[in-house]
Structure 1
């Protein structure tokens, strides 16, 4: 099967970022630590300003990130997920409750922290209504951005 253009674009991007070089991996640990510091700085500043932060999604990689950063309900009030099997349960380790996505409309948080960051574009389009009350999206990886 021929390689499609999306795959070629991804390979080109990875090569430009240097994934085939030793330097990329030597610096990887520091990049991870920098991302953790950015995330924690965001949470501390937002909470000091009495902002409400909720999560979107309950994926394994997002949960790994929250556990690595030490994020619990003191920073992230709850998360939501479209999978009904996850509703009214908790994220492993962090014990952050998982609800249905409609809870975002009910609570009108200041920030929605996107845990499946690879799906950020789709999630932002589907939940753009949070901007009606001034809500913003937070994308934690590869570098923390707020939109």
Structure 2
């Protein structure tokens, strides 16, 4: 059984997992894939925290939750998707044919050492996020005051979270572009920043392009490399402002 990128969207995690316990064959295996809380915290990916997600999960948490429903984690993989994800393999607790990979305990130890079981870690994360917000705003304000044009690339959910949290409007980010025709000629929710087709960047020749889907930055930089022709630069906001 496979459940990729659904766990974080489930409002009642225990009811969801109990369903797997009921449906799973005696020797069966379930795989769950979800964004990894450890990576979110380590890299300050606060823009991935939005209403679509009900939970942000570590291996420690999913392991404990599955155990409470008679299921056992026996393997885990770390993936680069969504800024860092986990693929967890689980089976019935009584299924002894599948031995636990040492990677499970190793990653649990890493999460504990980082402090995922301590409230102080989350308090510090919150303070760091405020600092990142201030730095993003300072970059945009400085660019505006120096007569520089900053536009965005992409209109992802994480980008809307970032821009609304930082209070960025079209006075600081002239527009953003997106390859999806369904988003073009619309306004971003809350900030009301226009969404245009990618060709608008070639026409406007901005000084900076802020990459909102930062997890795709390499692909976007390759696609939009022509901005270097007029001295344009790319900027990523997470885990902090970086000019590329």
The verdict on a shared fold, with TM-score over 0.5 as the criterion, is yes
Structure 2 counterpart of 1:74:
171
Q: Measure the CA separation in 1 of the matches of 2:180 and 2:135.
A: 29
Per-residue deviation, 1:16: 9.8
Matched, 1:101 2:198: yes
Matched, 1:33 2:161: no
Matched, 1:20 2:116: yes
The superposition leaves residues 50-80 of structure 1 with CA deviations (integer Å, 9 ceiling, x where unpaired) of 0000000001110111011110011000000
Q: Which has the higher contact order (CA 8 A, sep 6+)?
A: 1
Per-residue deviation, 1:5: 6.3
Q: Secondary structure at the match of 1:87?
A: coil
Per-residue deviation, 1:3: 5.0
Residues 123-142 of structure 1: matches in 2 within 5 Å?
123-142=220-239
The superposition leaves residues 19-78 of structure 1 with CA deviations (integer Å, 9 ceiling, x where unpaired) of 635243121111110110000110111001000000000011101110111100110000
Matched, 1:90 2:187: yes
RMSD of aligned residue pairs (Cα, Å)? 2.2
Which of the numbers 117, 141, 160 marks the counterpart of 1:63? 160
Matched, 1:54 2:148: no
Structure number with the higher helix fraction is 1
Structure number with the higher strand fraction is 2
Q: Secondary structure at the match of 2:182?
A: helix
Q: Which segments of 5 or more consecutive residues in structure 2 lack a partner in the other structure? A: 1-30, 32-74, 87-106
Q: Measure the CA separation in 1 of the matches of 2:162 and 2:203.
A: 26
Aligned length: 145
Mark the structure with the bigger radius of gyration.
Answer: 2
